[in-house]
Amino acid sequence: MSRFFLIFFLLILTSNSYSEIKDGIIKNLRNTNNLDFKFEQNINGKIENGNCTIEYPKKIFCEYARSNNKVLVSNGKSLVIKSRTSYYRYPLDKTPLYLILDKDFLINKILNIEERIIDENLVNFTILEKENEINIFFDKKTYDLIGWQNTDIYQNFNITYLSSIRKNRILSKNLFKIPSQN
């Protein structure tokens, strides 16, 4: 009988600590209006990096390092990827970023799915939505968003890792303006 109580007690402690982590992540997301960070992105083995700023809901601006002036911009409706040699424009709602950049969506999903602890440092949530599987990763100690992995609209496997995260900074109003094709 005492083994039963010991197992029951350990299960309660484990579920409480996971609950605290989930609550911390949700509270952190709710208190975050924007964040900027360095990123490293691996798309089918091709690695790129740079700096990004996210403003909730659904806005992002990224400048890629050493990549002929490549930028990625979303104003909440459209997503543009522009470089010196190319210009691509997509409806944001047709991309996985539409879900990743919506903190209310993330919070609602996190509330209703189980987390997975990876290497005692990362918390992972797997979100299945509209034929997308998105893995979102948070730092277990700071509760900060530190990355995601998904398949993009061209069926490329994409892993994005965030570092040097800063939150709730004053942003330029024109930061998320869609660049022209010229």
Can you tell me which residue has the tokens 């029951």?
8
Here the CATH number for the domain that contains residue 59 is 2.50.20.10
Pairwise pLDDT comparison (8 vs 56), residue with the higher score:
56
pLDDT in tens, 145-157: 999 999 887 888 9
Neighbours of 86 (CB within 10 A): 10
| Domain-embedded: residue 41 | yes
Q: How far apart are CA 31 and CA 70, in angstroms?
A: 30
pLDDT at 35: 97
Mean pLDDT of 22-39: 97
H or E element at residue 53: strand 46-55
Q: By residue range, what is the domain housing residue 10?
A: 2-167
H or E element at residue 123: strand 122-129
Q: How far apart are CA 143 and CA 153, in angstroms?
A: 28
| Domain-embedded: residue 38 | yes
H or E element at residue 54: strand 46-55
pLDDT at 68: 74
pTM of the model: 0.87
| Domain-embedded: residue 175 | no
Domain count, the chain: 1
| Domain-embedded: residue 82 | yes
Beta-ladder partners of 91: 78
Q: How far apart are CA 57 and CA 103, in angstroms?
A: 7
Which is nearest to 148 in space by CA: 129, 127, 130?
127
| Domain-embedded: residue 35 | yes
Mean pLDDT of 103-113: 96
Pairwise pLDDT comparison (17 vs 33), residue with the higher score:
33
pLDDT at 18: 62
| Domain-embedded: residue 172 | no
